[in-house]
Structures are given as C-alpha cells and as structure tokens.
Structure 1
C-alpha cells in the first residue's frame, strides 16, 4: 500500500507566480489543464464568481492573494489614500460567492494585517496570503490523519462534489481523508457522485482519484442510495462550505439527501473541513445564506440545453444537513462526534 507521502501537492488550484495569481481553470477540466493569469482583484473576483476556482478553502486562498493585487494597484495610484480604495476592492471580492465562509474569513484576516501597515503594504500582505495558503495545506494533512483514524476496517466510501487539491490549498479535506485512508489500507475503493449540475464529481474528483491511482467508480447522484444498500460503502465523506454553531452543515446541493440515505442504511457520515469553515456567529443552518444560481445551469449539460423549452428550473447551489444526521465533524483541531452546540464550542474554544 502506498505511503501517505505519495499524495503531495502536485495539483494546485491557486498559486502566486511572477507577481500575479494563477488560477487553474476548473471549468475546462478534465480535458484541458490551463491556468488563468489574473493581475487585478477584479479579475480574481470574477474567477471566483464564474467558478474557475471553487471549493471554500481555495476560494479563501484566492481572495487573500486578490487583496495583495488590490493593495499593490491602489498604493501605486495613491500612496497616501490607498486604504479607502482597497476597502472597495475587498467588497467586490466578498460579493463573489455568498455561502463559503472561508472567503469572508480570509478577507477579514487580510484586513487585520492591512490595518497595521505603513508604507508599501505588498510585502506584508503577500507573506500573510502565503501563510493562509501554507496553513491550509498543513491543516488538510492533519484532518486526513484524524479522519482516516475513524475508519476502523477496510471498506469502500462514497463522496460528493470535489474536496481535493482542486478545492483547497492542497491534499484536500474529505478527499484528503480518502487519500490518507487509502494509503493506510482503511479505504479500498471510492464511489464518486457525478454532482449535478456542474459535475464536480465527474470532472474533478474522478480526475484527482485517477491521478493518484485510487480505485474509483463514478455514479449518478441518484444511484447513491442503491450503492449504500449494496453494502459496498461504510462511510460517506464530504466537505463543507459553512458549519453553524450547532453543527448543521452547508455543503454542495445533494449532501442532505446523502445524509438521510446514509442514516437509513446504517452508513456513517463524516464532514471534513478546516475551522475557518466553522461560523460560530451563525446559530444553526437556517441562518446560513444559500446561493442560488441561474436555472440554465440545470436545464443544460456541457453547454447544450437538454430541458424542454419553457420549463422553469430551480438551482440552489448548497443545502443544509442537520447536525443529528452527522456522525463526525473533522477539523484540524480535532473530531466532534455526534456534533451539537456544546461539542462545537468545545472544539472551537469558545
């Protein structure tokens, strides 16, 4: 069985290169690997909004680098009054995706760094953005170890959307657990939901699993319950875009129905996310804003319309899984089993 060290950060969703943000355009995967070269904060915001980059941690990292670009441009324009202009750029970045709390967490952290700076702000801000990036990778490896330790015996697992290197700084959250669990012999195979309408499972997760030589089977989202009933999976392992103070979990649309099916079939349900995803200011899932995108995304497939003309389409991007359907939340700080408000507060130290 391969060592965990085999799965290094050979896939980078976001990187800082030659004074600009390079963003792997995930809309083109798996057929084309191409990086967007983004030189302004507005371009970074557009990349986030238009799904060139996705996954809550990767969005936060991209936004942090976007702040560096904003500060560089505004300081060059007006060394005395650049702060006010940067504040407007931060608002543009914040508006790019409303559900992923990592975006706002990263912008707030960069804002705190920015507040104490005198003179050219770029070196200090770039150091902070790089720290955010590096800390995310380290957190993912820690979560991989903690999550894999929960899987007692060799079994198959099921995952949804994409939670790997493409969604993070590297290694992945839920997919990091899968990588670690496979390396330790705890996971034998992976069933990946295709994840309509953007097909992150079919295009991205399947691509990462094949890249790392992990046995993978792609299934339609509607086949998940049948796979659970077959006895082929022992765990469902997913990520999150925001976790409320009581342990309710917002994640890619389709996660809630997986949790319901898992509970019925006696399959364990694990959520893996860094503490930057936990929003203790949100009391429960009902208070989490759920992004809705254009209905045409549901009515089309690969740019080709497949739905009947004139039909309406509803396209919520996320749903909320109640805490009582979650067996474990794994963060870099530890594991909360059967999460509730007290367990989340203890883990977060509040």
Structure 2
C-alpha cells in the first residue's frame, strides 16, 4: 500500500493548468489529492489549511501565481503586470502570519519586474522555472536542516514536537521532523512524542500519522501532557517549526508552542526552532511586530464534535499562533547552520553565510 511519502504534498500539473495538493483536512482518514484550477480554490485551500505549513504554503503560492499569470492574455508588460499584481495581492491575503507566502510571491514578482523587457510568453516561462526552483530549494533546505539538527542529537533520545512541521508542511522531509527522518534512516532509534495541537489537531492528525508511517516510535499526547512527560525524564530535546522568526529570535509558531517552551525551560530541556532562512524576517524587529491570525470560533466550539461542546453565545478567542520569546529558545536551526543567542548577532551571521553561498 502506498504511504504518504509516495505522494507529493504540493505539485504542479502544467499541462492541465492545475495545482495538486494533498487535502490535509481529510487526513488521516482519507488520502485525497485536490486539483485546483482557479485562484479562489487556491486561496481557499491555503486559508482553510488544506495545504499548510510555511514552506508548503510558499511552494503552493509560487505555483498558484504562475497559474494566474498563465491565464493573463495581455500582450503589453504594463497590462500584464497590473493583472499579475492583483492576483499576487489576492493570494497574499490568505494567511498573514506565514512569511513564506509573501516571500514566495515576492520572488515571483521580482522575476516579472526584472524581465520587463522580455515578451509576456517569455516571462511566463521564467515564472514556471522560478516556481520549480522554489520547490527544489525547499527540499534541499529541509535536508540541510535535518543534517544540522541531527548533529545535536544522540541515538536513543526522546524528542517532542508540537503541531506539524513534517513532510506534510514542506515538499519533503519537513523542518522539525527532518532530523527525526534522517535519524530513522541511520538507526538512531528516536522515540518521538507528538502534542495533539489543539484546536485543529495537526499533531494528532498529521505528525503522528506521518511519523508512524515512517516507522518511527511515536506516542501521541494531549497538549497539556507535555510538562508531565518532560518531568518523567522521557524528553531529551524539543524540535518545533515556525511560521516567522523576528530579527531578535522571537518565533511565531502554532498556538501552544510557547507553553511547550516554558515547560522545556523549567525542566532544562533544549528547545530548538527549525527555520529555513525564508522564514526568518530580518525586517521584523521583535515578535511584537508579528501579525497573529485569528481563526473562526467554530474551530474551538464544534468542529471536531458530533454535537456542539460549548454554550451558545460564549466568547471565543482563537489565535492561530503564539510567539515564543527568544530567551526560551536554545537555538535556531537553519540550512546554513545553527544560530545561538544573541540572535540579533547570530542570525545576521547566518544571512552572511547565505550571501556567500549564493555568490
């Protein structure tokens, strides 16, 4: 039987002008590939978390804006770019916290602006090439994060992760799970605890599912069990992904992450954030500057229940993310190395290494 690793999280069928994604809202019960052919469907898929995880959202956005450009039939650059901008801004509005969405769209926009002297068909071809490179780059980045993270670990360790920063959140390997997958391939024998991650249960539905499919020794726990598991001495390190890292090292990730970081600090357990440089926003000074997306109340009151489990009319506060302060983060693992405090210095050094590598 095919596993989830035989399916691509995000793919392009250029011949059919369709974006292909695994519908993550149906997992683990159903493995369904959606074929999205219009911008509203792609926007909905991003907003409704059918495709989710910062890197996967970036790849989906790149393919999505290419498909939008492909449908623009204007001949002059100015007319083409006007409609391109409209499509770009529309897609960018789907998920404001995940920086990879705007990052990928900016990359695609640069391709258009830097080639204004070329014909529209030539620009469309360049957009396709850039979108494919964004996906290929995502795979390379995740591999590098995995290698850098694995250097911090020893065989037999107990690990804990929150939400899903796995293969389903990227093109391959994941970010926070990349060291786990590489360790599994090399016989490290990790045991991984997955927080269920309320209210949308990405840890239960997605992370536990894909780790188990990979043959990793996996235990699912409720979010509020993390400190208890840590106290038992079963957790040697915490690995999480992120949707945006500020220049000072503050990191926004799925709601509940800061709670895990606080517990890890109390029990002297290293807390690692796995962040592609595309997710690090050096223009964002601190976590206070990160816009936190608020989600519908129904996700808390009734989404997972046969009957509503909260009184009608009760107020609901449902932020999708929280910000973990830099002081609770042991290190930030990137594709160009591991950054340690003070992050305002080490993150700049990471980008200096990136600049040298790209020359």
TM-based fold match above 0.5: yes
Please state how far the C-alpha of 1:186 moved relative to its aligned partner: 4.0
What is the deviation of 1:41?
2.6
Deviation of the 1:175 alpha carbon: 0.9
Give deviations 1:168-205, integer Å, cap 9, x for gaps.
Answer: 11110001122123333445211000001110011000
1:12 aligns with 2:8: yes
Q: State the distance in 1 between where 2:7 and 2:283 align.
A: 33
Among 208, 233, 236, the residue aligned to 1:234? 236
Over 3 Å counting, the alpha-carbon distance change for 1:284 and 1:298 in structure 2 is same
Counterpart CA distance in 2 for 1:95 and 1:303 is 29
Which among 153, 159, 167 is matched to residue 169 of structure 2? 167
The residue number in structure 1 matching 2:34 is: 36
- Give, in whole Å, the separation in 2 of the partners of 1:110 and 1:163: 24
8 Å CA contact retained: 2:156, 2:191: no
Q: Structure 1 CA distance, aligned partners of 2:221 and 2:42? A: 33
CA contact (8 A) 1:189 1:214 kept: yes
In structure 2, what is the equivalent of residue 108 of structure 1? 106
SS, match of residue 239 in structure 2: strand
- The offset of 1:44, in angstroms, is 1.2
Cα distance in 1 for residues equivalent to 2:54 and 2:63: 15
Partner residue, 1:197: 199
Moved more, 176-185 or 151-160: 176-185
List aligned pairs for 1:199-278, cutoff 5 A: 199-278=201-280
Residues of 2 paired with 1:271 and 1:182: CA distance?
20
Q: Distance in 2 between matches of 1:253 and 1:155?
A: 25
Does structure 1 conserve the Cα–Cα contact (< 8 Å) formed by 2:331 and 2:339? Answer: yes
Point out the more displaced range, 95-104 or 119-128.
119-128
1:48 pairs, out of 18, 25, 46, with 46
Q: Post-superposition shift, 1:339?
A: 4.6
Question: Is the 2:194–2:220 Cα contact (8 Å) retained in structure 1?
Answer: yes
Distance 1:301 1:88 in 2: 33
**CA-atom RMSD, angstroms?**
1.6
Deviation for aligned residue 1:152: 3.5
CA contact (8 A) 2:55 2:100 kept: yes
- Output the CA distance in 2 between the equivalents of 1:287 and 1:322: 12
How many residues align? The count is 342
- Structure 1 pair 231–11 and aligned structure 2 pair: CA distance change class (3 A): farther
Q: Deviations over 1:216-273 (max 9, x none)?
A: 0000001000000000010010000000001110000000000000010111101102
Instruction: Select between 146-155 and 162-171 the one with higher mean Cα deviation.
Output: 146-155
Superposed displacement of residue 51, structure 1: 1.0
Please give the alpha-carbon distance, in whole angstroms, between the structure 1 residues aligned to 2:39 and 2:313.
38
Q: Aligned runs of 1:1-350 on 2, under 5 Å? A: 10-17=6-13, 18=15, 19-74=17-72, 76=73, 78-80=74-76, 81-115=79-113, 116=115, 117-120=118-121, 121-302=123-304, 304=306, 305-349=308-352
SS of 2:30's equivalent?
coil
| Residues in 2 aligned to 1:8 and 1:197: alpha-carbon distance in whole angstroms | 23
Contact between 2:247 and 2:283, CA under 8 Å: does it hold in 1?
yes
Alignment TM-score, normalising by the size of structure 1 = 0.94
Q: CA deviation at 1:210?
A: 1.4
**Which has the higher mean CA deviation after the structures are superposed, 184-193 or 320-329?**
184-193
Which shows bigger deviation, 335-344 or 245-254? 335-344
Does structure 1 conserve the Cα–Cα contact (< 8 Å) formed by 2:155 and 2:190? no
What SS does the corresponding residue of 2:24 show, helix, strand or coil? coil
